[in-house]
Amino acid sequence: MPNDNAVGQYSALDDILRCPLCQHALQVDAQQRQWCCQQGHSFDRARQGYIHLLPVQQKRSKQPGDSRDMVMARRQFLALGHYRPLRDEIARLLAAHQATTVNRGAYRLLDAGCGEGYYLSGIVAASDGHQRGYGVDISKLAVQAAAATDKNPDIRWLVASNANLPIHDESIDGLLSLFGFPVYREFARVLKSAGIYIQVDTGEQHLQQLRQIIYPQIINKAAPEDSAPAGFQLLQQQRLYYSVKLTSNSAIQHLLSMTPHRHRASQTGLQRLSLLTELALSVDFQIRVYQRQS
Ligand SMILES: C[S@@+](CC[C@H](N)C(=O)[O-])C[C@H]1O[C@@H](n2cnc3c(N)ncnc32)[C@H](O)[C@@H]1O
Ligand SMILES: [Zn+2]
């Protein structure tokens, strides 16, 4: 697969990166080991290949974001392929948008809150060299896991916050927030004027059977609002609903551990779940596609 990610001062991937401290452009050295701005701030490439662009003064805790257990549980569960239809649907929506954009260079895709990289890795790999990916997460452990396994030179894995994206204004074509923590002001800033923003949230019936087991009473969350966030216009929304069957207790436990349910569930509920070796579940996703308003 041809790859124009030339090594040099501004590689095809790095030209949209900016310093999280002073917002000046970051330039990479010839070996792609260090990124520096004109104010002298510098950031090294970590052993696994990601860049740490979350300055200590922008951290609210020592180890922000998902823990190691959550990251590993998500990785094991996603590897089973149960959420593959969601990944395929997002790839399809992005490819349709890409086909309508008049682009010089590759389509730039940002996954804001990328976790251990399942969605971005698969989507960029399926684009056949036509997309460049930026995976941002505030959890170093999540980004480490992503970078350790995905060495695709068309993807930059970045430890950074959605609240202060180390990306220049109007440089992204497609932006994803999948079950994440959207910061619309930043998302509007980094998107190009014709860029799209895809947000995925869980729907009312999501994992209903699991919730019935672990809670004495299930409370369905209110349907998300219809209004578009400031700076965006809703283009389309759709529901992706299907059933899956988990066939081992470890799959059930991994699913539980990647959600907030593990900490919210009652002890008796957790006990009931620990005895199960299979579970049929409804999967319910709400997909919204927004366009940045110019
Ligand atoms: C529910 S997980 C979803 C991960 C991934 N999108 C997926 O669906 O597999 C939410 C992710 O958001 C990350 N996160 C939380 N706050 C963040 C922030 N301010 N900026 C970037 N990522 C953040 C967490 O570390 C975690 O990996
Ligand atoms: Zn700087």
Residue 226 lies in a domain: yes
The number of domains in the chain is 1
pLDDT of residue 1: 36
Residue 177 counted as domain residue:
yes
37 is in an annotated binding site: yes
- Residue closest via CA to ligand 1's atom 24 equals 65
* 3-state secondary structure (DSSP) of residue 180: coil
Ligand 1 geometric centre to CA of 255 (Å): 16
Residues with CB under 6 A from ligand 1: 65-66, 74, 113-115, 118, 136-139, 142, 161-163, 178-181
Check the annotation: does 114 bind a ligand: no
| Residue 28 located in a structural domain | no
158: CA distance to ligand 1 center in Å? Answer: 12
Half-sphere exposure of 3 (CA within 13 A, CB side): 13
Find the DSSP H helices in 115-257: 118-126, 140-149, 184-190, 208-214, 249-257
In a domain, 145, yes or no: yes
CB 162 within 8 A of CB 113: yes
Q: Which residues pair with 27 in a beta bridge?
A: 36
Q: Mean pLDDT per segment of 10 residues, for the chain of length 294 residues?
A: 40 90 94 94 95 87 88 97 98 95 84 98 94 97 97 96 97 97 97 96 95 85 76 96 98 94 90 95 97 87
**pLDDT on residue 11:** 59
The alpha carbon of 153 and the centre of ligand 2 are apart by a number of angstroms equal to 25
Question: Whose alpha carbon is nearest atom 7 of ligand 1?
Answer: 115
Residue 36 lies in a domain: no
The domain of 236 spans 49-292
What CATH number is given to the structural domain containing 168? 3.40.50.150
The pLDDT, as a whole number, for residue 24 is: 97
Q: Is 83 annotated as a binding residue?
A: yes
Closest ligand, as measured to the CA of 83: 1
Q: Is residue 191 part of a domain?
A: yes
Residue 33: inside a domain: no
**Residue nearest atom 15 of ligand 1, based on CA coordinates:** 65
12 domain-assigned: no
Residue pair 233/291 in contact (Cβ under 8 Å)? The answer is: yes
Contact criterion met (CB below 8 Å) for 208 and 218: yes
